[in-house]
Amino acid sequence: MKLLNTSPVAPPARREPGEPFPTEDITARTIPYMPSWPELATIYHTPTLSLPRALEGGANLILTGQPGTGKSVALAYLASLAANRDPQLGALSESIPFLYHIADLRLPDDDAKDILSPIQDAAAEHAPVLDLTRLPGFIQNAFESGKALLLLDGFDELPPGEQAKLTSYLKTLLKTYSGVRVVTTKLPRAS
C-alpha cells in the first residue's frame, strides 16, 4: 500500500537520469519529504494532492495523522463521492464503497475459504431483511468486477498483533481480487 496522509503531501517529482532537475521551491529544497509527519508539511504549505487524485493509477492508500485530524472524515468523504458517482473520482466514480470500522469486521483466525465473509457479515448487520439473500451475490460481484472501494477505519486503533492479522487478510483479499481499491488509516510513527 502507498503511504499518504489525510491531506496527502505530494511526493517529490521523479528525477530521471540525464534529465534536468524539476523546479523546486525553497521549502522542497530544505524540508525533506516526510509523509508520516503531515503537521510539518502543513506549517510550510507544501503541495498536496486531493484524495481522488491520490487514488489515481491503482493506488491503495493509508491515511496517516494524529487522532482527531480527520482520517475518518476523509474516509466518509470518499464513500460519499463514490456513492454519488461524483466525477471528481475519475475512473473510481463507478466504484461501490464499502465503509467499515475495523471493529465491525470479524476477521477469521485462519485462512477462510470465503475471504468476503467478514465484509458480507458486516453489511448484513445493517441491511434490510428483504435484501439479505441478495447481499452476498452483490458483494461478490462488486469485488470480482473490481468495482469495490474498501474503506477501513480504525486500523490505527488495533494492537500490533491484530494489525498483522488485518494486514494478512488485506494481502489475501488483494491477491484474490486484484481490482479492489483499499483505503485505511494509520497513526504516524512515534519518534
The answer as to whether 63 is a domain residue is yes
The answer as to whether 139 is a domain residue is yes
Three-state DSSP class for 182? strand
pLDDT digits (tens, 9 = 90+) for 8-66: 556 666 667 777 766 666 666 666 666 666 666 667 666 677 888 888 888 888 888 77
The answer as to whether 11 is a domain residue is no
Average pLDDT over residues 82-105: 90
Q: How far apart are CA 158 and CA 160, in angstroms?
A: 6
Confidence of residue 190 (pLDDT cuts 50, 70, 90): low
Q: What is the pLDDT of residue 79?
A: 93
Q: How far apart are CA 39 and CA 126, in angstroms?
A: 37
Q: What is the DSSP letter of 9?
A: B
Out of 80-89, 106-115, 156-165, which region has the weakest mean confidence (pLDDT)? 106-115
In whole angstroms, what separates CA 125 from the centre of its chain? 22
Q: What is the pLDDT of residue 63?
A: 87
The answer as to whether 152 is a domain residue is yes
Q: What is the CATH number of the domain that holds 162?
A: 3.40.50.300
Give residue 89's domain range.
50-186
Average pLDDT over residues 2-13: 50
Task: Say if residues 52 and 74 touch (Cβ distance below 8 Å).
Answer: no
Helices (H) and strands (E) in the chain, counts: 7, 5
Q: Which residues, at least 6 apart from 1, have a Cβ–Cβ distance to it below 8 Å?
A: 60, 61, 62, 170, 182, 184
pLDDT digits (tens, 9 = 90+) for 138-177: 999 999 999 999 999 998 888 888 888 888 889 999 999 9
Count of CB atoms within 10 A of residue 71's CB?
25
With a cut of 50, say whether residue 3 has pLDDT above it: no
Quote the pTM value. Answer: 0.75
Q: What is the pLDDT of residue 127?
A: 85
Report how many domains make up the chain: 1
Higher pLDDT, 104 or 11: 104
Higher pLDDT, 79 or 41: 79
Strands (DSSP E) found in the chain: 2-5, 61-64, 96-101, 148-153, 181-186
The answer as to whether 71 is a domain residue is yes
Count of CB atoms within 10 A of residue 86's CB?
14
The answer as to whether 95 is a domain residue is yes
The answer as to whether 43 is a domain residue is no
Higher pLDDT, 35 or 102: 102
The answer as to whether 33 is a domain residue is no
Three-state DSSP class for 96? strand
Q: Which residues, at least 6 apart from 32, have a Cβ–Cβ distance to it below 8 Å?
A: none
- Calculate the alpha carbon distances from 23 to 27, 30, 44, 72 in Å: 12, 14, 17, 35
With a cut of 90, say whether residue 99 has pLDDT above it: yes
Q: What is the pLDDT of residue 129?
A: 86
